[in-house]
Structure 1
Amino acid sequence: MSTQQTTVAVIGLGIMGGPMAANLVKAGFDTVGYNRSPQKVKDLEAAGGRGAASIAEAVADADVIITMVPDSPDVEDVALGEGGLVGAAKSGAIWVDASTIRPDVAVRVGEAATEAGLRPLDAPVSGGEKGAIEATLSIMAGGEAETFEAARPVLEAVGKTIVHVGPSGSGQTVKAANQLIVAGTIELVSEALVFLEAYGVDTEAAIKVLAGGLAGNRILDNKASAMAQRSFQPGFRVDLHHKDMGIVTAAAREAGVAIPLGALTAQLMGSLRQLGHGDLDHSALLLLVEQLSGHTRKD
């Protein structure tokens, strides 16, 4: 797949989709974008891409279409709604849905896309805004292996760890597992930080030594220092992780799988959201742990 001869349409130019589209431009792809907020389209144009006034216009000549929208209903609307990509894209185009949605919805919209002559992949990503900006996202793709290989050059422009994990819906299932682990890890790191602070420990020193041992994880590496400083600029918002925990708890129930710690963490994430913190980074779970403990940080 030649970059200069390949047109990639990106639908949804938000925190994740915008940087992904910019990296496609940097990689040499003819990149066209659509977003409900016109300013995001202008940002892509300033980065060297092209803007479109509608989904249909964006995908009309696209060889590969990437969607990055918030939730299952959004994907259904973008794909199957009036002026949606399934009806507007050319036959044979690859559709990569990088959104995080329910696995059953991924299967259903994938079937509709296949019937319309498209080649769908459900390929959610992990790595947050930082990963999107640095093109180091982890991408877990479900769908036909042949389609995955055809899309690989495009995926390599936005991600670093790119794995075909099975048939349609598998990407979303793996992403649900990812979100389960991430939320649980954030909760445990939050509890550890509040615990350390209660004893007056130097948290930065503690983070360093914990990250170097068996307790080491990406949350300690990438978020713990900001958490200790109570800086919760959103790389991935509480609102979205709350949505994702709803996906994993529902899917686990359907499969008959017990996720007791995951279910509790889902409740905690929901409680944090209800307290008005939905726009903060998901690492703000620390605020809830702090409140439940009756503690405030000792500066």
Structure 2
Amino acid sequence: MANQLRVGFIGLGIMGQSMARNLLQAGFSVTVWNRTESKMKVVQDWGATPAASPQAVARKSDVVITIVGDTPDVEAVITGDEGVLAGAKPGLILVDMSTISPDATRQLAEQASAQGVKMLDAPVSGGDIGAREGTLSIMVGGEKDVLEKVRPLFEAMGKNIVHCGPNGAGQTVKACNQIMCGLNLLGMVEALSFAKKAGVDLEKMIQVTTQGAAGSWALANLGPRVVKGDLDPGFSVRFQQKDLRIVLQEAEQLELPLLGTAAVNQLLRSVQAQGGSEDGTHALIRVMEQLGNFSIIPDNE
């Protein structure tokens, strides 16, 4: 029954392309749309059917998945003149896997419900590696019975699928995830900086610490990239900053001080000021190199 669902997929960036491919490999029929047409061609070669608009995707689908950049982008592809809701029939399930504002998510869910469309917010964690390998963590907000209807799709893309609560809860948990990602990132680059200045072999430091209490996804996956001088984005500084902006806006509403998160936000802003907005988040090491007057990245030496 699972692969009888007709799936629409909107957003074919670093994450979306791999997620769509995993759905195709699991046997689902997938119709795709992306603002940049060339990215549709790649997925079309894997067996997907291109569509002219999000509206056209919805007309051909039982479930539509969106994963685009920011809250305004999600709103455009869902509620725009040629958006998903313009082509949706009652009974369609809309799954937004972007990372956006919890408040905006709740408002979109209300708009969808008024047209007989059920919506889940299901942001993901795991980066480009998790997307490629189908091992993403998926945090889901919305009705639990709706989640069960699309669980086979999620299982094609991820391994840790958790129902977090009503609409907006998935986005709130993703905000928590991004707080920890940011602070782990800072810890990783500070540890690498300390090791470099102290003259310790960086690869051996990573080898040992990833297996102990200090281990983290950032250290295991991004640490080796830093040592090799590979700052290509699995997840870009620009999108991390977007996520931290959402976190800090929500924290302001909650009257909650988040000192560490704010510090990471400002340090990444320095990366952006130096032209690193499209680099991977581990480009934070560039700021540490300047602050400490040393070089880790091989090209700097």
TM-score of Structure 1 vs Structure 2, range by shorter chain: over 0.9
Are 1:261 and 2:260 an aligned pair?
yes
Identity %: 42
Aligned partner letter, 1:21 = A
Whether the aligned pair in 1 keeps the contact of 2:33 and 2:40 (CA below 8 Å) is yes
1:87 is displaced (CA, Å) by 2.0
Gaps of 5+ in 1: none
Aligned partner letter, 2:64 = I
Whether the aligned pair in 2 keeps the contact of 1:67 and 1:96 (CA below 8 Å) is yes
Taking the aligned partners of 1:58 and 1:205, their CA distance within structure 2 comes to 49
Residues 238-275 of structure 1 show CA distances to partners (whole Å, capped at 9, x for unaligned) of 00001111000111111122211111111111221122
**Secondary structure class of the residue paired with 1:236:** coil
Aligned partner letter, 2:2 = S
Are 1:119 and 2:118 an aligned pair?
yes
Count of aligned positions: 298
Taking the aligned partners of 1:269 and 1:110, their CA distance within structure 2 comes to 32
| TM-score, normalised relative to structure 1 | 0.97
Segments ≥4 residues shifted beyond 6 Å: none
Whether the aligned pair in 2 keeps the contact of 1:186 and 1:219 (CA below 8 Å) is yes
Q: State the match for 1:142 in structure 2.
A: 141
Q: State the match for 2:292 in structure 1.
A: 293
Are 1:193 and 2:192 an aligned pair?
yes
Taking the aligned partners of 1:131 and 1:18, their CA distance within structure 2 comes to 12
Whether the aligned pair in 2 keeps the contact of 1:61 and 1:89 (CA below 8 Å) is no
**Secondary structure class of the residue paired with 1:163:** strand
Whether the aligned pair in 1 keeps the contact of 2:24 and 2:48 (CA below 8 Å) is yes
Q: State the match for 1:177 in structure 2.
A: 176
Whether the aligned pair in 1 keeps the contact of 2:5 and 2:62 (CA below 8 Å) is yes
Q: State the match for 1:205 in structure 2.
A: 204
Taking the aligned partners of 1:219 and 1:67, their CA distance within structure 2 comes to 26
Whether the aligned pair in 2 keeps the contact of 1:61 and 1:90 (CA below 8 Å) is no
Residues 11-160 of structure 1: pairs in structure 2 closer than 5 A? 11-160=10-159
Q: For the aligned residues, what is the CA RMSD?
A: 1.1
Taking the aligned partners of 1:257 and 1:144, their CA distance within structure 2 comes to 28
Taking the aligned partners of 2:19 and 2:102, their CA distance within structure 1 comes to 23
**Secondary structure class of the residue paired with 2:61:** coil
Taking the aligned partners of 1:61 and 1:225, their CA distance within structure 2 comes to 43
Taking the aligned partners of 1:44 and 1:231, their CA distance within structure 2 comes to 26
Aligned partner letter, 1:16 = M
Whether the aligned pair in 2 keeps the contact of 1:87 and 1:116 (CA below 8 Å) is no
Q: State the match for 1:252 in structure 2.
A: 251
Q: State the match for 1:2 in structure 2.
A: 2
Taking the aligned partners of 2:253 and 2:158, their CA distance within structure 1 comes to 31
1:296 is displaced (CA, Å) by 2.1
Residues 49-90 of structure 1 show CA distances to partners (whole Å, capped at 9, x for unaligned) of 111111111110211100010000001111111111012112
Taking the aligned partners of 1:83 and 1:231, their CA distance within structure 2 comes to 39
- Of 108-117 and 265-274, more deviation after overlay is shown by 265-274
1:15 is displaced (CA, Å) by 0.8
Q: State the match for 1:239 in structure 2.
A: 238
Taking the aligned partners of 1:256 and 1:94, their CA distance within structure 2 comes to 35
